[in-house]
Amino acid sequence: METVEMNSVSLKRPHSEDGVANADEVKRHKISEKSKTENDSGQSTETVTEQPDKSLLEDTKNEIIPNEESEEQEDEELEDSDEDGDPESFADMMKHGLTESDVGITKFVSSHKGFSGILKERYSDFVVHEIGKDGRVSHLDDFTVPVDDEVNFEDPSEETFTVLSDEDKQRLEELQLFKNKETSVAIEVVEDTKEKRTVIHQAVKSLFPGLETKTEDRDGKKYIIAYHAAGKKALANPRKHSWPKSRGSYCHFVLYKENKDTMDAINVLSKFLRVKPNIFSYMGTKDKRAITVQEIAVLRITAQRLAHLNKCLMNFKLGNFSYKNHPLKLGELQGNHFTVVLRNITGTDDQIEQAMHSLREIGFINYYGMQRFGTTAVPTYQIGRAILQNNWNEVMDLILKPRPGAEKGYLVKCREEWAKTKDPAAALKKLPVKRCVEGQLLRGLLKYGMKNIISAFGIIPRNNRLMYIHSYQSYVWNNMVSKRIEEYGLRAVPGDLTLKGATAVHIEEGDVDNYTIHDVVMPLPGFDVIYPKHKIGEAYKEMLVADNLDINNMRHKIRDYSLSGAYRKIIIRPQNVNWEVVAYDDPRIPLFTTDLDKLEGKPLPVLPTDGKFRALKMEFSLPPSTYATMAIREVLKMDTSIKNQTQLNTTWLR
Closest CA to 496 of 479, 478, 509: 509
**Would you call 132 exposed, middle or buried from its count of C-beta atoms within 10 A (0-12, 13-18, 19+)?**
middle
The beta strand positions in 325-455, using DSSP E, are 333-343, 364-365
The beta strand positions in 30-97, using DSSP E, are 33-38, 44-49
Long-range CB contact pairs, 213-218, < 8 A, 24+ = 215/189, 216/186, 218/186
Closest CA to 567 of 492, 632, 473, 631: 473
The residue length of the chain stands at 654
State the Cα–Cα distance between residues 603 and 48, nearest whole angstrom.
30
Residue 617 has phi, psi (to 5 degrees) of -95, 125
State the Cα–Cα distance between residues 605 and 599, nearest whole angstrom.
16
State the Cα–Cα distance between residues 423 and 403, nearest whole angstrom.
18
CB atoms near residue 133 (< 10 Å):
13
**Would you call 559 exposed, middle or buried from its count of C-beta atoms within 10 A (0-12, 13-18, 19+)?**
exposed
CB atoms near residue 510 (< 10 Å):
8
State the Cα–Cα distance between residues 591 and 599, nearest whole angstrom.
17
> DSSP class of residue 240?
P
List C-alpha distances in Å: 627 to 80, 133, 278, 292, 576: 26, 19, 27, 15, 16
Closest CA to 625 of 555, 553, 522, 539: 522
Q: Do 336 and 622 touch, CB atoms closer than 8 A?
A: yes
How many Cα atoms are found within 13 Å in the side-chain-facing hemisphere of 383? 25
State the Cα–Cα distance between residues 59 and 587, nearest whole angstrom.
14
**From 155, 168, 261, 287, active-site residue:** 287
HEC per residue, 363-394: CEECCCCHHHCCCCCCCHHHHHHHHHCCCHHH
Residue 586 annotated among the catalytic residues of the structure: no
State the Cα–Cα distance between residues 255 and 290, nearest whole angstrom.
13
CA geometry: angle at 643 spanning 642 and 646, to 5°?
80
State the Cα–Cα distance between residues 154 and 289, nearest whole angstrom.
35
Element (H or E) spanning 618, and its range? strand 613-622
The contacts of residue 313 (CB under 8 Å, 6+ apart) are 63, 64, 268, 269, 272
Q: Do 549 and 389 touch, CB atoms closer than 8 A?
A: yes
**Would you call 240 exposed, middle or buried from its count of C-beta atoms within 10 A (0-12, 13-18, 19+)?**
exposed
State the Cα–Cα distance between residues 561 and 462, nearest whole angstrom.
10
State the Cα–Cα distance between residues 612 and 108, nearest whole angstrom.
31
Active site residues: 287
